[in-house]
Amino acid sequence: MLKAALLLLGTLTLSALIWHIGIDRIYEAVTQLGPAAMLMILLPSLLMYVLEAYGWRVTLGRWAKDVPFWQVLAIRTAGEVVNMTTPTAYVGGEPLKAFLLKRQGVPLVEGLASVVTAKTTMTIAQILFILAGIGLGFWLLGAGGSAGQTITAGLVSMGLLLFGVGAFVIVQRQGMFSWILKVLRRVGLRLHYLESREEKLLELDRTIAHFYAQRRSAFLLSTGLFLLGWLAEALEVFVMIVCLGQPITMMSAVAIGALSVLIKGGTFFIPGSLGAQDAGNLFLLTAFGYGEVTGITFALLRRFREFVWIALGLACLAVVAKGVDRSLSTD
């Protein structure tokens, strides 16, 4: 019920923004973009998906050679469409990725360990990207005014998130699932589902701990690849605004891209961040000196990119699911 109410509120917010700025003005701005410009707008996100798939593949270790890269990319794209289209705080597709890897011959424990560690390295890279964007935002906009206050709030949020991720890494190194089982037992709560899988969970703990202790180069490489993926999002900002006929520097693109990621992450509880993400993008563009038409058109172009990748993700999900069904029928 709450999700439906938030979705309705987001839809009304986006509709009100479009109505306030003017449909005719937005339509005129969009129609100036030809097919070549629309294709250019999609290229940075393709680069982002490829880099992030490599970032995940690195965490697979010796099992990476058993899965062709295109399958890793297809599985990750399928998992991400579940993250984007279901109200699961962007983690619902992670178990699906591990299951689909299992059908490619990767043991479930190894697949789950790679999903956990890749999600961690991606989040660390995301924090670094956002911190860089906040720093550039302070430098370009100054610390005063509403934009400066928003950036300050973002900096505090990132500090808390960085602390949380650091604590999460420590817990992973010490044994995340064994710790959860100990806490549940101490409070007198025993869940049969977890208890019956204790050996598998402990094996998963050992696999994750081994990654952090023995594969530090892979940890750094994965983080670096995900960071490049986030920077590709800044490239997308640059390309979109240039295609809209407006001037922009790469530093401004990084700041806008990073702060946009912060806004989207902070509104994960709204399905698709509908309304909040769009209003946030409009606010960011106006704070950086662009007009309302450019701001809302930019927000709608980012929605267009999301719809394209949702369609591609559903196609990937259909393909890999068909492969799973074929594999199950021959087992």
pLDDT, one tens digit per residue, over 150-192 is: 556 566 666 666 666 666 667 676 666 666 666 666 766 665 5
Phi-psi region of 25 (alpha: psi -120 to 50; beta: other; left: phi over 0): alpha
- Give the integer Cα–Cα distance in Å for 173 and 202: 12
Taking the complete model, does pTM exceed 0.85, yes or no? no
Query: CB 202: neighbour CB atoms within 10 A?
Result: 15
Rounded Cα distance, 174 and 183, in Å: 14
Q: Do residues 128 and 141 touch, judged by C-beta distance below 8 A?
A: no
Nearest alpha carbon to residue 301 among 283, 280, 273, 278: 278
In contact, 263 and 280? CB cutoff 8 Å:
yes
Q: What is the pLDDT of residues 269-288, one digit of tens each?
A: 676 677 778 888 888 899 89
